[in-house]
Amino acid sequence: MTTACELCRTCAQCIAICADKALSSNGVLPGDLYRFFVHQAVLAGTILTLADYRELRELPYLMNYPLHIHAQYPADRRPASPNETITCRYDVFFEEEGWERGIAIHEPLSSWLAANAEGGDRRSA
């Protein structure tokens, strides 16, 4: 079993290598958008390299659910509310005009969002 220290050390080494290549003239990772996500790709690759494949498990689709593309998500796997997710990522979802019409958010999540989300009251109808 891989330790957290080994994972972090290997990941840091890989990020350093990727950063050197991204900054070189060979165009491995052109543009700021790609550099922004390098750490995620390196972490995933590091985990896959160090982990025993028998230890790997697919996470349920309601974990890290992509709320920002909710409308494009397959209807048979789309939760009716973020309350049904384990975790979700939202990127710019709450910055979009009329996001409240796209998905119902119920208590206690709606109150938490109203109190904690930047930009004031974010309760859905």
User: pLDDT per residue over 40-54, tens digit each?
Assistant: 777 788 888 888 888
Q: Which two tokens stand for residue 116?
A: 């904690």
Q: How many CA atoms lie within 13 A of 97 on its CB side?
A: 0
Residue 25 confidence (pLDDT): 47
Q: Could you give the C-alpha distances from 20 to 7, 16, 41, in angstroms and in order?
A: 20, 6, 15
Give the global pTM.
0.58
Q: Which two tokens stand for residue 11?
A: 């990941």
How far apart are alpha carbons 38 and 116 in whole angstroms?
Answer: 29
Q: Which two tokens stand for residue 79?
A: 């939760």
